[in-house]
Amino acid sequence: MNVLVTGGAGYIGSHAALRLLETGHAVTIVDDLSRGRRAAVDRLEPLGDLAFVETDIGARERVAGVFRDRRIDLVMHFGALAYVGESVEQPLRYYRSNAAGTLAVLEAMEDAGVTRIVFSSTCATYGAPSSEDIPITEDCPPQPINPYGRSKLMAERMVTDLADRKRAGGGDFAATILRYFNVTGCDPAGRLGEDHRPETHLVPICLEAALGGRPNVSIFGTDYATPDGTCIRDYVHVDDLIDAHLASMEALAPGDVRTYNVGTGRGHSVREVVDACRRVTGVDFDVTEAPRRPGDPPVLYADPSRIGRDLGWTARRTDLDTTIADAWRWKREHPNGYE
């Protein structure tokens, strides 16, 4: 199959491209490199039929031309901005990238006659569910509380509205929306890793502190209504997440519109993750307490049973220390990321 991967130079997109190439698919990466890493693409190029196009996903005509030139069968759409705090400070930038960017991708798909998409969404679409809604099922009403979550929910609705229109007209458009929880870990073979600039994710921040690359780790908010006062999240290994993408891709049938949570079904608090990083690294790095960040809900973890029933997917790497160990292996060997 010929698969176009938007955001394929980024953390999750590059891992998806790696797996697609390893399983014999042709891959075309579209990425403007504003957050992605060209070095990640370089590592992928020897592995199979890979083309890289450096462009913004909002460049509709150019992207449609790539669809036609590469005879694309399916889109995995990862290209987006994904920092909650940044979205609060720069909301319009997030609507432009995540909502308008998805609109341009869908229009380019229409222009080129491409009818299948697996869309990268987020648990941030749920907002701050009540305790009765935890663990979160796909039927939990979406009520995002920050521009990141709202922009992704807008994009989801574009995908489902287009799919509904195509289905009503007898078309064969098919879509799967995957709502991620917190993604961590790296390729266990060490070929790819997590390299964000700036880094805002908890595990790599802890690993940077363990290496001496930052003086301490800040815990944002210690007064939440949780057992230890810190936020609770569901941490899914990036390789498990990519398994879910391939299962979704292979199961798509004409007219399908599916939405799945992708998580482990278990939550870990910030303090638990910090302690696990200390155990794995053997370094007792400093931790400071800081005020809450705007837009952070207290508890988010998944009920992933629907994707298990429908596609047979379940998270296989559920031990937090093992997941962190994969990330630690990459970080020790690449303390400055791909540079």
Residues facing 269 on adjacent strands:
232
Residue type present at position 313: W
User: What does pTM read for this prediction?
Assistant: 0.96
Residue-range domains of the chain with CATH: 2-186+235-262 (3.40.50.720), 202-230+267-333 (3.90.25.10)
Residue 45 phi, psi (nearest 5): -55, -35
Q: Among residues 94, 148, 180, 260, which one is catalytic? A: 148
Question: What pLDDT is attached to residue 312?
Answer: 98
Q: Is 95 a catalytic residue?
A: no
Residues near 336 by Cβ (< 8 Å), separated by ≥ 6? Answer: none
The alpha carbons of the chain give a radius of gyration, in whole angstroms, of: 19
How many angstroms separate the Cα of 26 from the Cα of each of 18, 20, 23, 51, 174?
Answer: 11, 7, 9, 8, 20
Give me the phi and psi of 220, to 5 degrees please. -90, 95
Q: What are phi and psi of 8, to 5 degrees?
A: -75, -5
Q: CB–CB of 273/301 below 8 Å?
A: no
Binned average pLDDT, 10 residues per bin, the chain of 339 residues:
98 98 98 97 98 97 96 98 92 98 97 97 93 95 95 98 89 95 95 91 97 96 96 97 98 95 97 98 98 85 97 96 96 93
Cα–Cα distance between 78 and 65 in angstroms, integer? 19
Q: Which two tokens stand for residue 328?
A: 């630690």
| 90 and 295 Cβ atoms separated by less than 8 Å | no
Residue with token string 């890979």: 50
* Residue 224 pLDDT: 95
> What φ, ψ does residue 122 adopt, rounded to 5°?
-155, 150
Instruction: For residue 132, give the 3-state DSSP assignment.
Output: helix
Q: Where are the alpha helices (DSSP H) in 223-336?
A: 238-251, 270-281, 305-311, 320-333
Q: Which two tokens stand for residue 142?
A: 């979406």
d(CA 296, CA 284): 26
